[in-house]
Amino acid sequence: MSKVAVAIAAAMLLVACSAQAPTATTTPSSATPTAAPPSQMSAQSLEQAYERVIQQVMPSIVQITTKAGLGSGVVYDSAGHILTNAHVVGHATRMDVTLATGSTSRKARIVKSFSGGDLAIIKVDDPKGLTPAKFGDSSKLRVGQFVLAMGNPLGLSGSVTDGIISALGRTVSEPQDPGSPGATISGAIQTSAAINPGNSGGGLVDLSGQVIGIPTLAATDPDLGGGAAPGIGFAIPSNTATDIAAQIVRNGKVTNSHRAALGIRGSTVIGDNGRPTGVAVAKVDKGSAAEKAGIRPGDVIISINGKDTPTLPSLAESLSALKPGQQAKVEVVKEDGSTKTITVTLGVLPGD
């Protein structure tokens, strides 16, 4: 797998946490101080809380197996819909699902993937006996709060790790690779709970037994030969995940991503010094914000609102901080070498 540097810490890398998953980069938000644990618990009472939560939530965690690999999922409703990551499903249309607590394999089909947010809904053919998870309000999370990550790391069904919420509001970007959507996730939860390949799509759970995030990425350290960087993982907030899931279940697609978009297809330009210098526009979507503003194929986007965008992921990260309908000043280098700043009224990222 390819490795790319990240800004969160010196020489850190990230990997998406399904088997044979892609690498990713991240850009941190402003630092959030680590708070004290939410309550003072004795070792025995904390142990009992963990046991209670695991017993309550584990029946809602599943393992998803495709021809390309495996990952995890969370039972969304009693109709058999299961929430997971888009990169867990990949290009598969059919997959096998087993409960993390152990069960006969069930056949499932893809309902819809939302690659822009690395989320997907699949549906099992036989929903009998499935236990829907309870989802919490991720807007109320606190740094320092105890959490458990539940899933199937390395195919070890029904595994649990513990930790805290280390930070909130991270922006995490995955490079586009075969089977990976290359998503940019805004508002990501950083956690110290260990997340390993196979955990993607599972549940990040609080001590009230509510799923408050979907584990998606984990850091690795090249100084350790690409081994795990302890205590750095990322999850999609539950409010984001359940909003997208509800739209897919109700409409069969994402009707409002709530994400800003230019409406271009492009690639990173590498300068003569070997460093990235901007995003070359290869295609402008018809009727898009970019087309309306006068951005054309051949233009190279070098900044948005004064922030440099030397790579495609950095462009996506800049857009993730903006809202549909908001105006943005996009600086481009035209084919004749001239530089121009164009005011663009941003559109909505399509729901695939």
Partnered with residue 269 across adjacent β-strands are 278
Catalytic residue among 18, 60, 72, 87: 87
Cβ atoms < 10 Å from Cβ of 110: 19
Partnered with residue 347 across adjacent β-strands are 261
Cβ atoms < 10 Å from Cβ of 80: 20
Phi, psi of 148 (to 5 degrees): -120, 135
Identify whether 258 is a catalytic site residue: no
Q: Is 104 exposed, middle or buried (0-12, 13-18, 19+ CB in 10 A)?
A: exposed
Answer whether 221's CB lies under 8 Å from 228's CB: yes
DSSP code, position 207: T
* Residues 16-26: b if buried by 16+ CB within 10 A, e if exposed: bbbbbbbbbbb
Alpha-carbon separation of residue 13 from 16, 66, 121, 172, 269 (angstroms): 10, 26, 28, 11, 22
* Residues 207-218: b if buried by 16+ CB within 10 A, e if exposed: bebbbbbbbbbb
Half-sphere exposure for 82 (CA within 13 Å, toward CB): 37
Distance CA 185, CA 238 (A): 12
Q: Is 305 exposed, middle or buried (0-12, 13-18, 19+ CB in 10 A)?
A: middle
Partnered with residue 13 across adjacent β-strands are 220
Q: Tell me, what amino acid is at 252?
A: G
H helices within 202-351, ranges in order? 238-251, 289-293, 312-320
Catalytic residue among 157, 186, 200, 303: 200
Identify whether 81 is a catalytic site residue: no
Paired tokens of 271: 């300068």
320: helix, coil or strand?
Answer: helix
Paired tokens of 125: 């053919």
Identify whether 118 is a catalytic site residue: yes
Q: Tell me, what amino acid is at 249?
A: V
Catalytic residue among 72, 81, 118, 186: 118
Residue positions annotated with a catalytic role = 87, 118, 200
